[in-house]
Amino acid sequence: MARGAGIDGFALNYGRDYWQPARLDDAYAVASVSGFKLFLSLDVTSLSCSSAADAQTHANTIARYSNMTAQYIYQNKTVVSTFSGGDCTFGQSSVLAGWTYLRQLVMQQGYAIYIIPAVFTDTSLFNTPSMAWMDGEFNWNSGWPMGSSNLDTSSDVQYMGALGGKGYMPAVSPAFFTYYGPNTYNKDWIYRSDDWLLATRLEQLVQMRNQVEIAEIISWNDYGESHYIGPIRVDQPMSQGWTNGMPHTAWLSLISYYAPAFKTGAYPAASDNLWLWSRPHPRGATPTAPTAPQPSGWSYTDDNLYAFVTLSSPASVTISSGTNNGTWTLPAGVSKISIANSPGAISGSILRGTTTIKSYNSTGTFTYVATPTDYNYNYFVAQA
């Protein structure tokens, strides 16, 4: 599914759970015979990185996969990423010494590594001697706005300027909502994901393609943070309350429109397609039985039905949310339209003359409601 969307590989973000080493083996075994690429992303909020023994453990894992067909190689080096890691010392005198030590341990096993972590450090330090251990930086929070404004590229510009000649990997994300109460992970917030965020971000990457060689989509299957683009599976981290009945796989075909443009600079010919996405209730709704407090950042979002349209030639497009609807005469190519949400089903159609080219109606599948049972700022995503 990922490859069909133009995605070339997965970052395997892993931690200390006992079952994860075997799953890494599975992933590399399957990808090695399917032409897919993988690289390790050490989640050092879970994995320990405080001792020399930790460094040896991680070096052994990196070396284990470095000679496999599926391993992603960049500049003739095994790519290694992280989530966090700006304070890892691996038992050495400093962070610089610690990561240098890890690199040396991997080299002793015959492999050079390209370290492109996501460290949440002052960007002014990126190109200083203390961070010489980094070959580049993955800008985790560049995929969504960090406030109430729409996403721009100011973070990308800041990071690339601070990195100098080092590599830069921007993030792409369709949304971010997490709803864990104080009795579980205590993660309860929303980042603004409005105004066709996924499409807008992909367009930004296409514009930056001469400066950026690698981009990472967050995420394939992080259900707990609502930014999954893969199918919803049974095994979830207690996130069923806001993911059940909220599919995102339609976004894959939207990604497939932009992927060739990022890789080659040329967009594919537009065919007739219509995507719709909506949250299930107003941002200021009062649930009847909330399981956690109202998420912080709730006021950053808008109560809109978003539609993304590609047309092979001009056509009339209508979208509806409950009793609210709008109709546009749109040109060939890409258009982004939206209307305010209203209680009821969502729907959309493409008409050329009197012929309905594509249509969708969520009746029986999804309903926008004024008063929900619980908070849910996740998106329901569909394609006509």
Contacts of 160 (CB under 8 A, 6+ apart): 168, 211
Query: Tens digits of per-residue pLDDT, 10-45?
Result: 999 999 999 999 999 999 999 999 889 999 999 999
Amino acid at 269: A
Q: What is the mean pLDDT of the chain?
A: 97
Q: Do residue 71 and residue 184 come from a single domain?
A: yes
Average pLDDT of the segment spanning 65-70: 96
Q: What does R_g of the chain's alpha carbons equal in angstroms?
A: 22
Q: How far is it, in rounded angstroms, from Cα 37 to Cα 74?
A: 11
Domain total of the chain: 2
Q: Do residue 260 and residue 282 come from a single domain?
A: no
pLDDT number for residue 234? 86
Query: Tens digits of per-residue pLDDT, 106-123?
Result: 999 999 999 999 999 999
The CATH number of whichever domain residue 162 belongs to comes to 3.20.20.80
Q: Do residue 98 and residue 40 come from a single domain?
A: yes
The CATH number of whichever domain residue 316 belongs to comes to 2.60.40
Q: By residue range, what is the domain housing residue 174?
A: 3-264
pLDDT-derived band at 343, boundaries 50, 70, 90: very high
Q: Is the pLDDT of residue 134 over 90?
A: yes
- Residue 210's CB is within 10 A of a number of other CB atoms, namely 7
Final residue of a structural domain among 214, 237, 264: 264
